[in-house]
């Protein structure tokens, strides 16, 4: 059988032949790649210790495995099927065991340890020293210094956690795939034209007889929660949305959460830490759970006070309209939209025709061009895995620097949410390797696709991540692009969101999808005036998830674990308003349980927001100040993980960040 992984990739930029890669290609490719990587590691571990032979050897090893993993992870998240999911479940523990064997290879670590001990005398430049220090820390944090049975137990725990993370994400997707709610005209009351068009498109895509339908994609559910006058429909959709992964069916995730938390606590104790949160945050900007929680606590008080004020206002509006019921979570968005219209004389329905997807993509590209001198030219000769995927060639200073893939629409075989990934990371260790960066969103597909303002912000957010990968300019793969601390990685993405709200961006790109007329100045001014409307709600729903994540992971080994009870206790401790739900309830909290990426780290969005809110001050009064843009490029977007993160921020901003800017940015400073 011909296998694309065993041939040179002839597409432009050496892009993977995504149109030809099939599930059956992965098992033999993995077998060859794992065996080849094992042989490379054995050779490195038997060679004399040296920066070239050991660290550079590690950086250049496993190239075939990296290619396979990049393609496989993109497909299983964005275009999966039963065959891929079966391979995913089989390979998760095997890959964990493979990497564990590398990190626990005593001969290999001995060589890294020797180099680390004499690192100051090796004559290394800053980036080389940084990569040596990161490798040493990686190995220590993965158990290289453990002895005896602890090493074997750590390996077994890692394999089981890998399986649990895969099962968790597959269960969430299964619950989302199982739900499709057909609707007739009688249940569409209050829905504006763009929401009706999107619901009609969903019904057509799913081949339903009903004229309309809604799925559990956030971009499908939220317009109904925002506009549907049918309160029973809102309740039905809300409960289905928040219960994903927790429906006591074959896809239930509560037992997976309990076992995951127990194993993570055990893993942390094996590695010498009090809790998993202590382990995870030791290699972060926050440093400790106490410092992360201190930030959350600092924001929680003002946010909760504002949210309770908002709840009171919404309850009064319900009473004014003659409603004889208490404000519930499925009412919040509906009445908030009414209140916003009442206060600011506009609503989302008036805005949405001016936020066509195509215009917002152009706006993101324009902003990158103004700030960093990059340009984007769409290409149609790059292989893709689905017809929805589009590809652009990216240039800077007259030179191609990579490819950008945009996959913007929801579909049944795609995980929910929005994320950035890569098919290849930038490096110069083995030639000028240009990055292949992917953005995934889950907008409702319609013609044209119209975005809410929050959707447009999501697009800018993910594009900020994409730029972090595309603009990377480092030597070593280990330090490339987004390979940085979790509470630093959100800085480039959250900072980029600010430019969406800049008047010159909105005036140029917020244009009516039919007439191309710009957003009327009065409406633009109302939009900007209302930018902090509902920030109490938005901050509380986020912080609730961050508190629960942290409370889960400060548990010590041996603690009793009933995740549902622990979640309830965490929310009770902070006095969670009953009218607001967590942004991510635990059974579908994929950030935390589909893998270890944001585990004990969901707080990092708020930590990074301190940085981005403070950092955007460098662009006042000129949002495209060239001096600030150059510092931002040199110290943040292009630097990857090549320097210590607080140092990188100071080099950009000239000082340490202050939390005051975050509170002001969310309109909470006067509460």
Over residues 519-542, the pLDDT tens digits come to 999 999 998 889 889 999 999 999
- The Cα 88–Cα 330 span in angstroms is 36
Catalytic residue among 462, 579, 596, 609: 462
pLDDT digits (tens, 9 = 90+) for 134-157: 999 999 999 999 999 999 999 999
pLDDT digits (tens, 9 = 90+) for 444-483: 998 899 999 999 999 999 999 999 999 999 999 999 999 9
pLDDT at position 670 is 52
Angle of helix 26-46 relative to helix 63-78, nearest 10 degrees, comes to: 140
Residue 641: HSE in the Cβ half-sphere, 13 Å Cα cutoff: 26
pLDDT at position 671 is 46
Tokens of 95: 């890959």
Could you tell me if 588 and 467 are in contact, meaning their C-beta atoms sit under 8 angstroms apart?
Answer: no
On the question of pLDDT at 283 being above 70, the answer is yes
What architecture (CATH level 2) is domain 4-145?
Answer: Up-down Bundle (1.20)
Tokens of 361: 């993509």
The total of other beta-carbon atoms located within 10 Å of residue 260's CB is 25
pLDDT at position 449 is 93
Which CA distances in Å does 665 have to 299, 346, 573, 643?
A: 12, 22, 27, 28
pLDDT band at 339; cut points 50, 70, 90: very high
Q: What is the mean pLDDT of the chain?
A: 96
pLDDT digits (tens, 9 = 90+) for 186-204: 999 999 998 999 999 999 9
pLDDT digits (tens, 9 = 90+) for 557-604: 988 899 999 999 999 999 999 999 999 999 999 999 999 989 999 999
Tell me what the mean pLDDT of segment 250-279 comes to: 97
Could you tell me if 416 and 221 are in contact, meaning their C-beta atoms sit under 8 angstroms apart?
Answer: no
Tokens of 245: 């992964």
pLDDT digits (tens, 9 = 90+) for 287-337: 999 999 999 999 999 999 999 999 999 999 999 999 999 999 999 999 999
For the chain, give every domain's residue range: 4-145, 179-242, 353-483
pLDDT band at 232; cut points 50, 70, 90: very high
Which CA distances in Å does 181 have to 199, 203, 244, 411?
A: 10, 9, 15, 15
On the question of pLDDT at 29 being above 90, the answer is yes
Q: For this structure, is 525 an active site residue?
A: no
What pTM did the predictor assign?
Answer: 0.95
On the question of pLDDT at 247 being above 80, the answer is yes
Q: Which percentage of the chain shows pLDDT scores above 70?
A: 100
Q: How many helices (H) and strands (E) does the chain have?
A: 27, 7
- The Cα 589–Cα 594 span in angstroms is 8
pLDDT digits (tens, 9 = 90+) for 379-428: 999 999 999 999 999 999 999 999 999 999 999 999 999 999 999 999 99
pLDDT band at 430; cut points 50, 70, 90: confident
CATH of 353-483 given 3.30.300.30, 3.30.379.10, 3.40.720.10, 3.40.390.10: 3.40.390.10
């Amino acid at each position: 059988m011909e296998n694309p992984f065993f041939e040179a990739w002839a597409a432009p930029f050496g892009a993977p032949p995504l149109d030809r890669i099939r599930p059956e290609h992965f098992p033999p490719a993995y077998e060859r790649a794992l065996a080849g990587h094992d042989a490379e590691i054995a050779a490195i571990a038997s060679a004399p210790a040296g920066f070239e032979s050991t660290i550079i050897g590690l950086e250049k090893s496993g190239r075939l495995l990296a290619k396979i993993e990049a393609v496989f992870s993109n497909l299983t998240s964005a275009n999966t099927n039963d065959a891929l999911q079966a391979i995913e479940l089989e390979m998760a523990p095997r890959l964990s065991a493979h990497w564990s064997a590398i990190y626990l290879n005593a001969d290999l670590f001995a060589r890294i340890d020797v180099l680390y001990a004499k690192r100051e005398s090796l004559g290394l430049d800053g980036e080389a020293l940084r990569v040596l220090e990161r490798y040493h820390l990686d190995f220590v944090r993965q158990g290289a210094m453990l002895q005896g049975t602890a090493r074997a137990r750590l390996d077994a725990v890692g394999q089981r956690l890998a399986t649990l993370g895969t099962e968790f994400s597959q269960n969430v997707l299964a619950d989302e795939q199982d739900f499709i709610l057909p609707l007739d005209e009688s249940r569409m009351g209050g829905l504006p034209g763009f929401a009706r068009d999107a619901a009609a498109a969903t019904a057509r895509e799913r081949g339903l007889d009903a004229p309309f339908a809604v799925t559990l994609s956030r971009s499908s559910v939220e317009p109904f929660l925002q506009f549907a006058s049918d309160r029973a429909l809102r309740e039905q959709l809300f409960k289905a949305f928040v219960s994903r992964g927790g429906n006591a069916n074959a896809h239930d995730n509560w037992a997976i959460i309990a076992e995951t938390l127990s194993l993570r606590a055990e893993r942390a104790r094996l590695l010498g830490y009090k809790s998993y949160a202590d382990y995870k945050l030791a290699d972060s900007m926050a440093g400790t759970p106490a410092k992360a929680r201190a930030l959350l606590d600092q924001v929680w008080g003002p946010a909760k006070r504002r949210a309770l004020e908002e709840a009171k206002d919404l309850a009064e509006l319900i009473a004014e309209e003659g409603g004889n019921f208490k404000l519930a979570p499925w009412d919040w968005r509906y009445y908030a939209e009414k209140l916003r219209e009442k206060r600011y004389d506009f609503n989302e329905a008036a805005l949405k025709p001016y936020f066509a997807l195509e215009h917002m993509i152009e706006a993101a590209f324009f902003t990158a061009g103004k700030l960093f001198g990059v340009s984007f030219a769409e290409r149609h000769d790059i292989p893709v895995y689905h017809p929805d995927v589009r590809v652009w060639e990216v240039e800077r200073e007259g030179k191609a620097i990579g490819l950008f893939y945009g996959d913007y629409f929801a579909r049944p075989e795609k995980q929910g949410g929005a994320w950035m990934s890569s098919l290849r990371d930038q490096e110069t260790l083995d030639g000028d390797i240009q990055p292949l960066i992917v953005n995934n969103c889950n907008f409702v597909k319609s013609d044209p696709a119209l975005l809410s303002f929050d959707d447009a912000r999501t697009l800018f957010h993910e594009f900020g991540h994409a730029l972090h990968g595309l603009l990377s300019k480092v030597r070593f793969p280990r330090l490339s692009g987004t390979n940085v601390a979790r509470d630093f990685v959100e800085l480039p993405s959250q900072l980029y969101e600010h430019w969406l709200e800049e008047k010159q961006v909105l005036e140029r790109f917020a244009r009516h999808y039919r007439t191309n007329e710009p957003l009327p100045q009065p409406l633009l001014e109302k939009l900007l005036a209302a930018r902090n409307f509902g920030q109490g709600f938005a901050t509380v729903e986020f912080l609730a998830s961050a508190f629960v994540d942290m409370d889960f992971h400060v548990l010590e080994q041996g603690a009793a674990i009933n995740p549902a009870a622990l979640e309830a206790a965490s929310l009770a401790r902070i006095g969670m308003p009953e009218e607001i739900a967590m942004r991510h309830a635990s059974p579908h909290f994929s950030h935390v349980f589909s893998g270890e990426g944001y585990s004990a780290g969901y707080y990092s969005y708020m930590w990074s927001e301190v940085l981005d809110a403070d950092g955007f001050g460098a662009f006042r009064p000129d949002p495209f100040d060239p001096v600030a843009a150059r510092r931002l490029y040199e110290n943040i977007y292009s630097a990857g993980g090549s320097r210590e993160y607080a140092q990188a921020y100071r080099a950009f901003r000239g000082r340490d960040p202050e939390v005051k800017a975050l509170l002001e940015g969310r309109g909470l400073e006067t509460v």
